[in-house]
Amino acid sequence: MPERNTCAIFVLAALFFGPSDTCRASVPLLRYRVHVGAELAEVELVLPSGARRLVPGDDGAGLGIHAVTPSQGRAVPDDGGFLLSGVGRGATVRYRVSLERAAATSFGGRLDDGVILPADALLLRPARLAEDGAEVTITSAAGVFVSAPWLRSGDHFVLDHDALVEGGWIAVGGRPPVLRTTGKTRLEIAVVGAGARAERLVRWVEEAARAVATVSGGAFPTARAQVVVAALPGQKRPVFGECQRAGGPSVLLLVGRDTDDATLAEDWMAPHELFHVGVPRIYPRTPWLAEGLATYFAAVARARAGKIDRPRLWHMLMAGAKDADGDGSLGEASATLGRHHDYDRVYWGGASVALLIDLALRRAGVHGGLPARLTALRRATHDAMDVVTAERVLAALDGGTGVLGPIVARYVAGRVSPRVALDALWPALGVLDDGERARLDDRAPLAPLRRAIDGQQP
């Protein structure tokens, strides 16, 4: 391989978040050497256990992988993967990845000064994994910089079993990623396609992270996170966001390259996606819960951080509760979200349930309400990196108070809209509809709870 700048990534072992990994030291690791250029990545994979078939990760879909050549035997394309014959233990498989074609699996191709692709797009793996992790070294050509999502320990990154199957994003471009510290959190922010606007987009991410800290016990919910920002030509607003946590917290934000500062200051998307980092992965997917929490807390975070005023926050929550209405139950709408795309109902219905839970916990004497219970959940799930069921999340948030069960039964499983409960509570909270904003009455009996939620008092 030619002379190169190093963006050295040695992924040494699977991360199991236990007190020790020494009991797993005998497990063989997949070993990758990746050299990234402006157009192609050249990959060498050592197979300690041999393999019969190589497949791409779930997100990478194999686009752009070609010239697959094993050191022994042969590789034949087979239904999106590669069938191996005569390839034994310790064999090396070399292949190339077209970065532009691989990027088409994430949002559609190359930007002006780089590409963004799913992290697993570079990593062919055995269809049947005998290994629990990988050792990866990444180098790059002169003038090419790489940001990867995997967990770092010193100059190393940790790639676990899940990250071989799915994960975050790799950004490749002519601009090095920016490292920022927010409290005790290390943010790696890679901006692609922004040109002179890159620094403003970095500040946008930092401001969103600080907002999320206001609803996460005063600190960003994880010790590190990678944020990849794609600046899209012809757009003038934030467009789309997504959070992945397999292999390490990774957030992708698509934003118009021509978005002005006022629009960025009004944005809800970045705090919404960054909030997801601090909630464990819920499986099976339960959108009313995961997206409802993110929608609720993104709004509250923006008010606490001074991005919107409190009358506007409560107007948003009041208007959002109206979106919770619909046929059938919220749980049914959540389960069929992928088919029926009723996003407003599921997101704002979930946010309305989150508000009801927050109020119920505070009325039950839980200091700090729902944010405090989420902090406890995060600690119990290894900084939200565990995969958990919705039932476990709800039990942890309830914390033995008994308040969540009736709320979920009536307003999620049942066919009653959470708006019904909130309509009865708005006057007691001192929230009065006043057109485009809410009018707030601090003399109302539950006004102290409202003030505690929006950050005006503990």
Q: Give the tokens for residue 90.
A: 């310790």
In whole angstroms, what separates CA 262 from the centre of its chain? 25
What are the phi and psi torsion angles at 101 (to 5°)? -70, -40
Does 450 lie in the same domain as 348?
A: yes
C-alpha of 363 from chain center: 31
DSSP E strands, 1-144: 5-6, 10-11, 30-36, 40-47, 53-55, 65-70, 74-78, 81-85, 91-98, 114-118, 125-126, 134-140
In the block, which residue shows the tokens 């959002």?
Answer: 320
The 8 Å CB, 24+ separation contacts for 435-444 are 436/315, 437/311, 437/312, 437/315, 438/311, 438/312, 438/314, 438/315, 438/318, 439/311, 440/310, 440/311, 440/314
Q: How many residues does the chain have?
A: 458
Per-residue confidence (pLDDT) for residue 27, from 0 to 100:
53
Instruction: For the chain of 458 residues, list the mean pLDDT of each consecutive stretch of 10.
Output: 38 30 51 93 91 78 84 91 91 94 71 89 86 83 94 67 83 94 91 94 97 95 94 94 90 95 96 97 96 98 96 97 96 96 97 98 97 95 91 97 98 97 98 91 97 85
Which residue's entry shows tokens 């000064």? 113
Residue of 51, 2, 9 whose CA lies nearest to 28: 51
Same domain for 188 and 332, yes or no, is: no
Q: How high is the pLDDT of residue 437? A: 87
Query: Which residues are registered as beta bridge partners of 81?
Result: 78
CATH code: domain of residue 168: 2.60.40.3650
- Local structure of 208: helix, strand or coil: helix
Give the rounded distance of the alpha carbon of 332 from its chain centre.
24
| Category of 374 on φ-ψ map: left (φ > 0), alpha (ψ -120 to 50) or beta | alpha
**For residue 111, what pLDDT is reported?**
87
Domain final position from 261, 278, 295: 278
CATH number at residue 204: 3.30.2010
Distance CA 60, CA 444 (A): 54
Closest to 211 measured CA to CA, from 308, 288, 291, 281 = 308
Peptide bond into 284 cis (omega under 30): yes
> Domain containing 40: what range?
1-173
Residue (of 437, 431, 423, 424) closest to 451 by Cα position = 431
Q: Are residues 162 and 190 in the same domain?
A: no
Q: Assess whether 227 and 192 both reside in one domain.
A: yes
Query: How far from 407 is each of 68, 331, 350, 359, 422, CA to CA, in Å?
Result: 55, 12, 11, 11, 12
DSSP string, 376-439: HHHHHTTTTTSEE-HHHHHHHHHTT-S-HHHHHIIIIISS--HHHHHHHHHHHHTEEEETTEEE
Rg (CA), the chain: 24
DSSP-based three-state secondary structure for 350: helix
DSSP per-residue string spanning 311-331:
HHHHHHHHHHHHHT--SS-HH
CATH number at residue 392: 1.10.390
Dig out the tokens for 450 from the structure. 């409202």
Q: Are 89 and 30 in contact (CB under 8 A)?
A: no
Output the pLDDT for position 418: 98
Cα distance between the two ends of the chain: 59
Q: SS3 for 81?
A: strand
Question: Are 135 and 213 a contacting pair, CB within 8 Å?
Answer: no
CA–CA distance, 75 with 192 (Å, rounded to integer) = 35
The confidence score (pLDDT) of residue 136 equals: 85
Task: Give the pTM.
Answer: 0.90
The pLDDT value given to residue 29: 83
- Asked if residue 252 and residue 384 are part of one domain, the reply reads no
Of 150, 173, 196, at which residue does a domain stop?
A: 173
Which has the closest alpha carbon to 375: 220, 208, 211?
Answer: 220
Measure the CA–CA gap between 125 and 210, rounded to whole angstroms: 38
Same domain? 295 vs 242: no
Whole-number Å distance between alpha carbons of 226 and 150: 9
Q: Do 108 and 132 have their domain in common? A: yes
Task: Clarify whether residues 197 and 111 are in a common domain.
Answer: no
Cα–Cα dist 351/316, whole Å = 11
The pLDDT, as a whole number, for residue 10 is 32
List, in order, residues 6 or more apart from 106 with CB less than 8 Å away: 59, 116, 117, 118, 169, 252
DSSP letter for each residue of 24-48? GTTS--EEEEEEE-SSEEEEEEEET
Give whole-number Cα distances, 14 to 150, 158, 194, 323, in Å: 11, 7, 35, 43
Q: In the chain, how many domains are there? A: 3
Contacts of 147 (CB under 8 A, 6+ apart): 170, 171, 177, 188, 190, 226, 228
Same-domain status, 270 and 296: no
212 and 296 part of one domain:
no
Same domain? 314 vs 225: no
pLDDT at residue number 192: 95
Domain-ending residue, one of 225, 260, 278: 278
- Do 95 and 188 reside in the same domain of the chain? no
User: What is the pLDDT, as a whole number, of residue 293?
Assistant: 98
